Amino acid sequence: MLLLTTLRQEKATVLAGLAKRNLSNAEAIIDRVIALDDRRKELQTANDALLAERNKLSDEIGDLFKSGRKDEATAKRERVNAIKDEVAAGESDYAAVVAELEAQLVQLPNVPHALVPAGKDAEDNEVFRPHPGPLPTLGPDAKPHWELATTYGIFDLDLGVRTTGSGFPVFTGQGARLARSLVNLFLDYNTAAGYTEYQPPLLVNEDTARATGQLPDKEGQMYYVTQDDLYLIPTAEVPLTNLYRGEIVSPEQLPIQLTGYTPCFRREAGSYGAHVRGLNRVHQFDKVEIVEIVQPETSYDRLHAMVEHVAGLLTALGLPFRILRLCGGDMGFTSAMTFDFEVWSAAQERWLEVSSVSNFETFQSNRLKLRYRSENGIQLTHTLNGSALALPRIIAALLENNQTPAGILMPAILQPYLGKEMLLPV
């Protein structure tokens, strides 16, 4: 959530940034927010004055009774009673203003960093780091991963339909082992780089989802357990970041680096067509996440370090990839800057997104009330997160790019986890 001081003191800069997101009503919302905040302050001042008057009168009433001035004491007591009614009305008005202020603020997305390109959608994203050299090509007999899955017994979409519905693949045999091996590899890679591993809950409450910005922005994309008022997580970022909600950390604790593996659940409403076949887009998938909580002055250095961390993992897997810097119109609601990683699917001859690495600056920490003690007092931290990595499209690319007449050759870094060099037909 954007800071009120920022909206007041840097309104022109905020509007210029939000223009990159093509937000047409930003100025109207900001003006309404400022007016509501002014009204909130007026109500608070008036309420404080009433409380001070009540306290003063209460002190005087006792003295008046003691001195025998009963009529004066009674008059002041009547005023105290009237003040109680005025305070109650003022508190009601204050609560209504604060509620509307919050409702207006949550409509405003994060302000993109100055280096974020303007644009409407994915077509306007910037290729930040292209893949060096030619992309791999396969022969005419190459198969897409959904056909290889049957030959090699990797996953079964029909079983998922039978048990749950479309978009819930069932990994089987060496496919299940491949998924488990990738999770272990990713966690080991992350912990070796200094991240502490966590195993967080898969369901979160409304406060948790709101703190990291999933609510109210992505409410329609989350699975909701009505009876218990809980949400299935769309990513481990949500519970991991919330582990520090409401905390004031010391500078010596920063940067805080967390990693965790979880299944992730996304409704992906409105996703249809050939581009979502197989594992290209599913409702449940496994992902290993990295999260960082850092001092503001270091956050963009940490962002680029996280980008290099993910790039190193994809390089070790031998997958051709490129890095995009997302434009304002394609960037997530909470992000100030996002880099997307795409791997090349040689059989489908298209790029597949496998990771997003983002800096949220103070947008999440303001909602989280996640702060640190600095030389200038208590300040908000910056938060960052990234996928390292999501499994479905990684598996798709590994199957498609590494298929040979003899089998599917696995990258050397994965072979010790998998216990074999090659996946064989079943």
Are 65 and 73 within 8 A, CB to CB?
yes
If we measure between CA atoms, which residue out of 71, 64, 131, 145 comes closest to residue 395? 145
CA atoms within 13 A on the CB side of 351: 15
**How far, in Å, CA of 137 to CA of 345, rounded?**
9
Retrieve residue 276's tokens: 């979502």
Return the H-helix or E-strand segment holding 324. Answer: strand 321-325
Are 303 and 293 within 8 A, CB to CB?
no
Q: Is 235 labelled a binding residue?
A: yes
**How far, in Å, CA of 87 to CA of 291, rounded?**
44
Q: Is 58 labelled a binding residue?
A: no
Which whole-number Å values give the CA distances from 55 to 72, 122, 286, 316, in the listed order? 16, 61, 59, 70
Q: Is 180 labelled a binding residue?
A: no
Q: Is 356 labelled a binding residue?
A: yes
Q: Is 282 labelled a binding residue?
A: yes
**How far, in Å, CA of 265 to CA of 224, rounded?**
10
Q: Is 91 labelled a binding residue?
A: no
Retrieve residue 153's tokens: 């017994």
Q: Is 385 labelled a binding residue?
A: yes
Which whole-number Å values give the CA distances from 281 to 199, 277, 310, 390, in the listed order? 24, 7, 21, 11
Q: Is 285 labelled a binding residue?
A: yes
Q: Is 181 labelled a binding residue?
A: no
The binding site comprises 235, 266-268, 282-285, 289, 353-356, 385
Annotated binding site for L-serine: 235, 266, 289, 385
* Residue ranges at the known binding site for ATP: 266-268, 282-285, 353-356
